Structure 1
């Protein structure tokens, strides 16, 4: 299969390695302002994998010519942070063909909806097969340009949904060629709400805010940062997320249940599951509070959950408190900034029954 990957960060490089090492013809593209890893891969002609992935995998093309990267692609994966979805969508305008499947890996809070809006498509338009996964299937970091260290590859608990959901099975089959563990979700609300980053990251960041600022992040984020108090806050946030999902008729796994299934954790608990989890053991804390664990997970994820919960009548006092405290700590108004709310996504006019039909 010809595969085009948009993005050149940790996850994009890991995915490119795995798909190429399984015999697929992989191209990578990114914007010119992100040249380092693209140049490293282009110069090598391959990606080197370490730890879970070993050896090298050839890459057909790595560069900044999007038409070259997309040529003949049967699968296009957009792999980047939440804020990359709109620029990727703008770059893709007029370049998709109906035989391409497009997957945001992960959707990072309604990525498929935002992509279709950016492409100028109605949410239920099925001309193109577009969807998202609930998570990135790796725990990984770039070691240097062209070299990726993968410490965890999820063994299950990877969900996918197309928009509209009538295309989910077709998208799942395309991804299952290399990711056989991928499971069909009910719809993109499930893949969005199953993303645990907004549940975990902001709580740990705020409970360790002084430590991060005083040490420059010189501690292990989960091993040292998850204590009984922060574990209770994570659980309180997760409880509200699960209540929201239930009100929408969406089945979710709790965050520890998901982490246990994926292989990150040895037990499905909010405390030892994280601070003793093998998949989290070497994760270093951020050096400062201005980091995506707050600047992405709060405005993109937590604000969306809070506003959607208001729409369906589910109280979220703990989520709301974290949004407020994170805003005060960083001197910002994350609720006002929230780029993905039911209002901006066009979901505010939908009834719960309409939301089920996405």
Structure 2
């Protein structure tokens, strides 16, 4: 009888706690790692995560640690922000081989390619099986150091692997309780171009800076922060994303269509879809501007889309405006730190 597989959840934030708790409560053996020990100290101390919402219970974790070699396994579920990929690749490089499975949850835009390139820099000769998801499976928030609420499970989350990746192996070894929420796609390019986070996250933060920095105000990110006017701007950004995909030869869905399909809701436009999504009712706005909604989604979402658009001679004025505003507000150059792979490199990883 085959020994039960252990799933290694890499990252102990909102998504990591949700992933670890969900798998454990569905009977899987799970280990958990986080770079900062303080953030998972309660899980380390008592070995449990309290889960609320769509699935409730006290999840038992086999081992939690801030030392990666203590908990790594041959099936790695990466849930850290994508701007931490270089660090994660460096940490796991000594322990992986071509049979190791790595699923990036999510990859954002060209995350799997970024991860593969970082592994190569670390001296990895044979790449493991690397796949990325379009978005995280859970709508979730961590409320305590060992407590997380799962507000909703997303339906038919798309997943694809690099050109060398055996997706049959990736999905065959994935737990049935998790696998049922994924829809396998044959193109890593289409998955990356379908990144909805960069549309839903960046502009609303920049358009609500006054409220986010006001300590006297707490508001719901989607319900309060995305007004009709903000939603219309997001639709214009979304149109530019679709134009880039179309130029390359891919037909992808709008964010509104993604919301309708994933959450099984109705709405004539993006604003109505957001308002009709009950899973978004309790999602708070970021407590500060030090948020992955900018620090991750601008350099690893909008920047690579704009970069490819320029190579293809596709105009993206609304996306460019948000990148420029983010650069000015944060006094940095997100283009310099972002993903700017040439299209030929992207295609080499994408085409089977």
* TM-score w.r.t. length of structure 2: 0.90
The correspondence of residues 116-131 of structure 1 with structure 2, limited to 5 A, is 116-120=116-120, 127-131=127-131
Q: Deviations over 1:252-288 (max 9, x none)?
A: 2211111222218543621121134211112222233
- For structure 2, the residue ranges without an aligned partner over 5 or more in a row are none
Deviates more, 1:170-179 or 1:145-154: 170-179
Aligned counterpart, 2:70: 68
- The 8 Å contact of residues 107 and 135 in structure 2, kept in 1 or not, is answered as yes
Change (3 A) 1:248 1:172: farther
Contact persistence 2:163–2:349 (CA under 8 A): no
The residue number in structure 2 matching 1:340 is: 339
Is 1:9 matched up with 2:3? no
RMSD, matched Cα: 2.4
2:42 is matched with which residue?
A: 40
State the partner residue of 1:225.
Answer: 225
Task: Determine if contact 2:97/2:126 at 8 Å carries over to the other structure.
Answer: no
- Please state whether the residue corresponding to 1:186 is helix, strand or coil: coil
SS in structure 2 of the partner of residue 120 of structure 1: helix
Tell me the residue number matched to 2:256: 256
Deviation at 1:127, TM superposition (A): 4.8
Across the two proteins, how many residue pairs are aligned to each other? Answer: 346
Q: Given the superposition, is the C-alpha separation of residues 286 and 217 from structure 1 closer, same or farther in structure 2, using an over 3 Å criterion? A: farther
Alignment CA distance shift 1:268-1:83 (3 Å):
farther
Query: Structure 1 residues 254-263 or 201-210, which shifts more?
Result: 201-210
Deviation (angstroms), 1:29: 1.5
2:23 aligned to which of 2, 19, 25: 19
Q: Deviations over 1:29-86 (max 9, x none)?
A: 222xx1134321122222211111211121111113322312xx34111111112211
**Secondary structure of the residue that 1:76 maps to in structure 2?**
strand
Structure 1 pair 8/354, CA: closer, same or farther in 2 (3 Å)? Answer: closer
After superposition, the Cα gap between the structure-2 partners of 1:333 and 1:184, relative to the gap in structure 1 and judged at 3 Å, is same
Residue-by-residue CA offset, 1:68-112 (whole Å, 9 max, x unaligned): 312xx3411111111221111000112013332111111122221
Q: Does 1:170 align with 2:169?
A: yes
Q: 1:184 to 1:251 in 2, by over 3 A?
A: farther
User: How far off is 1:214 after superposition?
Assistant: 4.3
> Which position in structure 1 is the counterpart of 2:59?
57
User: Is the alpha carbon distance of 1:353 and 1:103 closer, same or farther for their aligned partners in structure 2, counting shifts above 3 Å?
Assistant: closer
Question: Superposition pairs for residues 140-159 of structure 1, below 5 Å?
Answer: 140-156=140-156, 158-159=157-158
2:200 alignment counterpart: 200
